Structure 1
Amino acid sequence: MSEEKDKDNESALSRKKIIINLIVVLIIGLVINIVISFFADFQETFATLKTINLIFIVKVFVVFSMAYLIDLIRLYIVTLSFHKKIKFKDAIYNTVSFYFMSNITPMASGGQPYQIYHLTKLGIESTLATNIVLSRLVENLLFSSAVILIFIRRVMSILSRIGTGKYILIIGIIAALGFSALLILLFLNPKLIYKLFNFLLKIFPLKNKSKFEQRLQKLENWLEELKLSIKTLWIEKAHIVTIDFILGGFIVFFHSLGLHITLSSITSGSYSILEVFILFIIMNFVVYYIPTPGSSGGVEALYGIVLASFMPGRFVSTTVLLWRFATYYLQIAFEGVILLMTRTKEKGVST
């Protein structure tokens, strides 16, 4: 009885945190958009809104939402390669929950942990669940880093067109590349985490070392299993990783295509899809280091600073407002509805 009560309290607490984060997201987004509009001309913003066919928002929403379908396919491909079968309803919940939790947690950091948690609740081993989620993160970092390095001349050309904001992007790119290298290193050799904790255990005095040593031993065993799982996926099932990597690239493309549609629809200008694609990757390298729920506020500010160098100033505030509405706030509402419709307490995985 007490266990059920604890679970209810934990569930209520989780709902409370989600609601609080949603309120924070809305407040921060509203304040930032007001600030952006303050520096712009209100009359020009409203005049621009009147001349735009807002049906393009539906197009941006649909294009951006392609990520759900692609990630759903990716989840099925990887899990089936390990002979795991997930119910369609649970697969949708897991896929959408990643985006929802990322959108409402600081630095968009809650998506991956929640996905792992949900997959383990479905009966998938924690090592495999961690492998699936981390592999996707590593693939995304590799893809973005590769695009930056392959098109480095185009990147430098884009940065040269931006004012003082380019220094923020340069620092962000360097930091992101460094973080990517560190994460990939830990991914290739997860036992480095054990060695770090073991080193800290030796140099810091603890009252009950035996207790921590037991936990450390369990961590070592778990990391060894994780390493074997990663080896199985990336070496023995390299073709699966290749497919997953390509599909992940399509997600980035569709997200950048949404930005391209927004720019073209609002300014009626002609923009290079490749340039917008690269610009989108550059900005994404930076925005997710902003410690607000879903990086709310920081995204609007950075996009405003950068896009001001690529379009007439009178369109900037409108572009940021409508782009963010279609790809973030509208998405959160959609994700919330889907999660409520697909929520289940039953285990939905079989081997």
Structure 2
Amino acid sequence: MLLEEKVETAEKTVSIQAPTANENPDKQLFNKRMILKGAMWLGLLTIASVAVVFFYSHTGDTIIALSSIKLKYILICFGMVFIDLMLGSWRNHIFIQKFKPGVSHWVSFKANVANMFMGAITPFHSGAGPAQLYVYNRHGVKVLDGFIVSLINMGATLLFMPLAGLLAIWVMNNQLESGLIKILLKYGFSVFFTFGVVFMLAFWKPLWIGAALIKIAALCSRIWPAKKERITKWANTSYANILHYQQICKKLLQHHPLLFPLSLLMTTLLYLNKYCMQYVILLGLGIHADMLQVISIQILIQFMIYFAPSPGGSGFAEASIAVLFSRIVPTSILPVFTLLQRSFLLFFPALIGAFVILNLLKTHTISVQDDNHG
């Protein structure tokens, strides 16, 4: 059944537009300069971090480990990357097709990989959501509808990851002695708790969030009076959209009560596939470790770096891998494992997303130029 009775209030939403040839690229979220800059920082931080791990643990066995990787396990990892991308896209598609019937799954696939790419090259994973909205909007989905889908799935993530983190801590027991890991865990729980509270308030008490936005806007207007009109417009639009979001979500979940549990199930399978990938990589390197321990370690790493302040969690991820996996991965093999882990979980999906984003921007730019000349 389709979501037929949408609330008509607050229909004005701000479309995400690609930069045109005449616009200042520094003021746009999606442009080649910003993308190249983010990708450069991701690459530099990752190379530097892996280099530190390599020089710290390099022995003659490192080259041997690199040359003796078992190909069949690497092929399995590529298969798991494909499963990861499909699960991520279907997690969005089960909702998006309720708002826009007939939308192709291919659109959701592109939106998902674009999410992964922009999340990888922006601090705090901040570019992921806007990238997904951009792709959907370019294929005729309203921005607010795409935003609602993103928030519902974010709710599933905000519920799953802290619970998985607590379970992993219980499994690891007294093995978390590093000061860095404890700091990152506290940071992770603090950020997830904050986002979780805001998410729940936006759903259950939207008036509270709206009132808070109005007050913040009033304060900012006093500090920057020249931007008062823009700030006030943003606050009013955000207030209206929050109310709209809450009302549509209620109707969506009332009409389709199994969708959120399905999203939570798919979120669990999505991340379980990511976690198990580390075990397969270890098998490819000839290391037979306890699977539950490997999964627990990866749960903690994923949890700690999800909202890391560096692009793709670079630096934090490599440091966490070096500390936590050093218990089960020989020192000489640690650099190879780190490189493979980051490649399969981050770089390969991000490369696909980069192709999607750049192709859409190119297509949009050409269409804008054709319209201008026409």
TM range (shorter): 0.7 to 0.9
Q: 1:233 is paired with a residue of what secondary structure?
A: helix
1:140 aligns with one of 148, 157, 170? 157
TM-score by length of 1: 0.84
- What is aligned with 1:234? 253
The equivalent position to 1:94 in structure 2, one of 111, 119, 124, is: 111
2:238 aligned partner, one-letter code: L
**Matched length:** 339
Contact 2:42/2:311 (<8 A) preserved: yes
1:176 positional shift: 4.1
1:199 aligns with 2:215: yes
More deviation, 36-45/111-120: 111-120
1:184 maps to 2:199: yes
* 1:8 and 2:8 are equivalent in the alignment: no
Indicate whether 1:162 and 2:176 are aligned.
Answer: yes
Instruction: Confirm whether residue 66 of structure 1 aligns to residue 69 of structure 2.
Output: no
Tell me, which stretches of 5 or more residues in structure 2 are unaligned? Answer: 1-16, 368-374
| 2:170 partner letter | M
Distance in 2 of aligned mates of 1:285 and 1:191: 31
Q: Report the CA distance between 1:340 and its aligned residue.
A: 5.5
How far does residue 5 in structure 1 lie from its aligned partner after superposition? Answer: 12
Equivalent residues of 2:89, 2:105 under 8 A apart: no
- Structure 1 residue runs of 4 or more that deviate by more than 4 Å after TM superposition: 9-13, 201-205, 207-215, 338-346
Per-residue deviation, 1:336: 3.0
- 1:45·1:318 contact (CA, 8 Å) conserved in 2? yes
Range that drifts further, 318-327 or 95-104? 318-327
Give distance in 2, aligned partners of 1:52 and 1:265.
Answer: 5
Deviates more, 1:333-342 or 1:104-113: 333-342
Find 1:78's aligned residue among 79, 86, 95. 95
For 2:169 and 2:299, locate their aligned partners in 1 and report how far apart those are by CA, in whole Å.
10
Question: SS of the counterpart of 2:177?
Answer: coil
Match in the other structure for 2:336: 318
Q: Name the counterpart of 2:271.
A: 252
Q: 1:219 to 1:288 in 2, by over 3 A?
A: closer
Change over 3 Å in CA distance of 1:286–1:267 after alignment to 2 = same
Identity over aligned residues, as a percent? Answer: 17
Match in the other structure for 1:327: 345
Distance verdict in 2 for CA 1:247–1:46, change over 3 Å: same
Q: CA deviation at 1:111?
A: 0.8
Deviations 1:140-192 (A, max 9, x none): 1211223344x3xx523415223314423432343244234323324423443
State the secondary structure of the residue aligned to 1:281: helix
Aligned pair 1:277/2:288, yes or no?
A: no
Q: Partners of 1:201 and 1:251 in 2: how far apart?
A: 38
Of 249-258 and 46-55, deviating more is 46-55
Check the 8 A contact 1:25/1:294 in 2, yes or no. yes
Mapped partners of 1:278, 1:137: distance in 2? 22
AA at the equivalent of 2:280: I
- Alpha carbons 2:201, 2:209 under 8 Å: kept: yes
**Change over 3 Å in CA distance of 1:234–1:219 after alignment to 2:** same
Q: Which shows bigger deviation, 140-149 or 100-109?
A: 140-149
Does structure 1 retain, via aligned residues, the 8 Å contact 2:85–2:112? yes
Work out the CA distance in 1 between the residues paired with 2:63 and 2:347.
Answer: 20
